[in-house]
Amino acid sequence: QVQLVESGGGLVQPGGSLTLSCAASGSSINIYAMRWYRQAPGKQRELVAKISSSGITDYADSLKGRFTISKDNTKNTVYLQMNSLKPEDTAVYYCNAGLTFYAEGHYWGRGTQVTVSS
């Protein structure tokens, strides 16, 4: 099993940047595909970005070019760099881990709130 803890959320002005972190414990992220999801109030959860155990990345089409997922296996941590933030990026961001790149994983963090507002 793996435990996931997100951090780095907060309040940011439109056009600003944030980097979220997802620290894993209990197991190495080397073997997992890692994902970031987000859920805005009143909306369904959506996949933001994912990274395979070998480092292959994929993004929601609407976010390509603004968000970057990466990981540091030595720190057992996954990151989400978010640039040019917009009010519609406001959501709770969740980290997810699973054994396949092609489906949602079983392990979830509790989320971190990102609010984009002036």
**Amino acid letter, 6:** E
Predicted pLDDT of residue 56: 96
Tokens at 65, concatenated? 């070019």
Predicted pLDDT of residue 78: 98
Predicted pLDDT of residue 1: 87
Tokens at 29, concatenated? 């992220």
CB atoms within 10 A of CB 80: 27
pLDDT beneath 50: ranges in the chain: none
End-to-end, the C-alpha distance of the chain in Å comes to: 40
Predicted pLDDT of residue 74: 95
Predicted pLDDT of residue 2: 93
